[in-house]
């Protein structure tokens, strides 16, 4: 949307009070995301009274799911664009020009009689793009949509069927980004290891990784959002053999109790997960494993939580996230009774995260004295004389970080790679100093 708007001649501002048009891009995955989206819309709506805002546009999954409700309950909204209407952003913005004095909701209506009949929009290498990340890393969406029917998930309804981009388009986009200074590419989709299956292309992800690995100037390639039933040996081989591919696997497993997995409609069992994680570590030596779990799913008992904790203890994940179950309309799980109280969900989450913190603390101490190559992110948020950096086994925003002390921060720029020695640990983060410093 930013790229399309820029190419149409619009200018961006970081100051919402001075903007002619405000665009709120929303999420509707779980209750907390919906609430955050609604609060952002209401906050931006106030700028129509006390700022320069002439038009308020709401886009994304909340717009796709609650189009009519949003425009009815928040009359300040002038345009709503669902997940298939992204190219209409320029037309929606243009309604806010000097001659645009239309009443709310009259300035833009979708030219599609039934916008929900559209497939979810997906861009290609020719689509104009503005980076919303720091210039040294960028996300590339390799596919859109999802064909799974997990009981807790609304994404297939909001995003449609899985559709892979052509590999040539992805490689071309990566080359363009690297030419602009990007050092790390993060490949994303709702299920990245399903890439190419919808096009009847076997082992497409492995071939894509090998093609991206040839791009001069690209330092790191990271895979996010893999799926336990679609990781094949060819992909693991490419990860092990390609120099630029980070030895990092993000594998949301959601649970490890067979009864809960069955109710979740997840295609896997504890035994299958045990074998998969063992195979991954055998095929990709030194790999870092990240996963996420949901606690409090309908019918989850203490025995299920015990099984999940034992699973975490057995496998020692490098990174772990835990969500409490959100009872969402439109999912098949909504027909089940949401029978785990909120306080119990929170307690189970805290228990699991407490276990993970203890496990990580032990492993972090073992890293002290080791040397590693890190990517500089920039000054630390709370100390201008400390630099924040990441290992190849740490993804931006979601994992821990490395903090560099005993160095001159002005000697390094975001995107630089530095050899460091780890000298300390603090919870999920590590302390280091550049090799050769006093």
pLDDT tens readout for residues 270-326: 999 999 999 999 999 999 999 999 999 999 999 999 999 999 999 999 999 999 999
**CATH class, 137-366 region:** alpha beta
Which residues on neighbouring strands pair with residue 220, listed in sequence order? 184
Residues forming CATH 2.40.50.140 domain(s) in the chain = 371-434
Question: What integer pLDDT is reported at residue 107 of this predicted model?
Answer: 61
Residues forming CATH 3.40.50.12160 domain(s) in the chain = 2-117
Average pLDDT of the chain to the nearest whole number: 92
Question: What integer pLDDT is reported at residue 291 of this predicted model?
Answer: 97
Question: What integer pLDDT is reported at residue 242 of this predicted model?
Answer: 97
Which residues on neighbouring strands pair with residue 379, listed in sequence order? 387
Tens digit of each residue's pLDDT (9 = 90 or more) over 72-99? 999 999 999 999 999 999 999 987 554 4
Tens digit of each residue's pLDDT (9 = 90 or more) over 378-395? 999 888 789 999 999 999
Assess whether pLDDT exceeds 50 at residue 102. no
Question: What integer pLDDT is reported at residue 96 of this predicted model?
Answer: 53
How many whole angstroms separate alpha carbon 171 and alpha carbon 212? 6
- 106 pLDDT band, cuts 50/70/90, is low
Whose CA is closest to 292, among 280, 308, 270, 278? 308
For 47, what's the count of Cα atoms within 13 Å in the CB-facing half-sphere? 22
User: How confident is the model over 210-239, as a mean pLDDT?
Assistant: 96
For 233, what's the count of Cα atoms within 13 Å in the CB-facing half-sphere? 2
Pick the range with the lowest mean pLDDT from 102-106, 233-237, 277-281.
102-106
Question: What integer pLDDT is reported at residue 410 of this predicted model?
Answer: 85
**CATH class, 2-117 region:** alpha beta
Q: Cβ–Cβ contacts within 10 Å for residue 420, how many?
A: 25
How many whole angstroms separate alpha carbon 417 and alpha carbon 431? 16
Question: What integer pLDDT is reported at residue 30 of this predicted model?
Answer: 82
pTM score of the predicted model: 0.92
Assess whether pLDDT exceeds 90 at residue 195. yes
How many whole angstroms separate alpha carbon 164 and alpha carbon 63? 24
Question: What integer pLDDT is reported at residue 20 of this predicted model?
Answer: 92
What CATH topology corresponds to 371-434?
Answer: OB fold (Dihydrolipoamide Acetyltransferase, E2P) (2.40.50)
User: How confident is the model over 151-164, as a mean pLDDT?
Assistant: 91
Which residues on neighbouring strands pair with residue 433, listed in sequence order? 421
Q: Is residue 264 a contact partner of residue 254, using CB atoms and an 8 Å limit? A: yes
DSSP symbol at 29: S
Query: Could you tell me the strand order of the sheet in which 55-60 lies?
Result: 21-26, 55-60, 79-81
Give the contacts of 430 (CB within 8 A, at least 6 positions apart): 364, 367, 391, 400, 401, 402, 403, 422, 424
């Amino acid at each position: 949307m930013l790229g399309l708007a820029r190419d149409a001649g619009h200018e961006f501002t970081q100051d919402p009070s001075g903007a002619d048009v405000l665009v709120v891009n929303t999420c509707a995955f779980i209750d907390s995301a919906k609430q955050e989206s609604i609060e952002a819309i209401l906050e931006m709506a106030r700028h129509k009274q006390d700022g320069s805002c002439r038009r308020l546009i709401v886009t994304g999954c909340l717009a796709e799911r609650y189009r009519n409700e949003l425009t009815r309950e928040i009359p300040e909204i002038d345009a709503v664009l669902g997940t298939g209407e992204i190219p209409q952003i320029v037309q929606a913005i243009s309604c806010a020009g000097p001659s645009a004095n239309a009443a709310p909701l009259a300035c833009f209506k979708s030219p599609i009689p039934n916008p929900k009949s559209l497939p979810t929009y997906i861009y290609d290498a020719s689509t104009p793009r503005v980076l919303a990340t720091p210039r040294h890393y960028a996300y590339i969406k390799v596919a859109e949509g999802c064909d799974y029917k997990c009981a807790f998930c609304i994404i297939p309804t909001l995003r449609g069927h899985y559709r892979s981009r052509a590999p040539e388009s992805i490689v071309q986009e990566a080359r363009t980004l690297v030419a602009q200074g990007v050092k790390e590419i993060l490949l994303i989709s709702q299920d990245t290891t399903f890439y190419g299956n919808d096009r009847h292309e076997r082992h497409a992800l492995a071939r894509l990784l090998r093609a991206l690995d040839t791009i001069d100037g690209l330092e790191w390639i990271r895979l996010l959002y893999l799926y336990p039933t679609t990781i094949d040996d060819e992909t693991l081989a490419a990860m092990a053999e390609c120099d630029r591919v980070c030895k990092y696997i993000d594998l949301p497993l959601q649970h490890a109790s067979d009864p809960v997995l069955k109710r979740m409609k997840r295609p896997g069992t504890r035994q299958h997960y045990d074998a998969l994680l063992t195979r991954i570590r055998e095929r990709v030596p030194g790999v870092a494993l990240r996963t996420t779990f949901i606690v409090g799913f309908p019918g989850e008992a203490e025995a299920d939580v015990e099984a999940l904790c034992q699973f975490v203890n057995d496998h020692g994940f490098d990174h772990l996230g835990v969500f409490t179950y959100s009872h969402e309309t439109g999912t098949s799980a909504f027909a089940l009774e949401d029978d785990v109280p909120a306080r119990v969900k929170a307690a189970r989450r805290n228990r699991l995260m407490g276990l993970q913190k203890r496990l990580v603390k032990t492993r972090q101490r073992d890293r002290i004295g080791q040397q590693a190559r890190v990517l500089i992110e920039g000054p630390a948020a709370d100390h201008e004389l400390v630099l924040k950096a990441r290992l190849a086994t740490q993804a931006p925003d979601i994992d821990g970080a490395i903090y560099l002390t005993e160095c001159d921060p002005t000697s390094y720029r975001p995107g630089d790679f530095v050899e460091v020695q780890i000298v300390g640990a603090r919870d999920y983060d590590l302390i280091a100093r550049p090799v050769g410093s006093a």
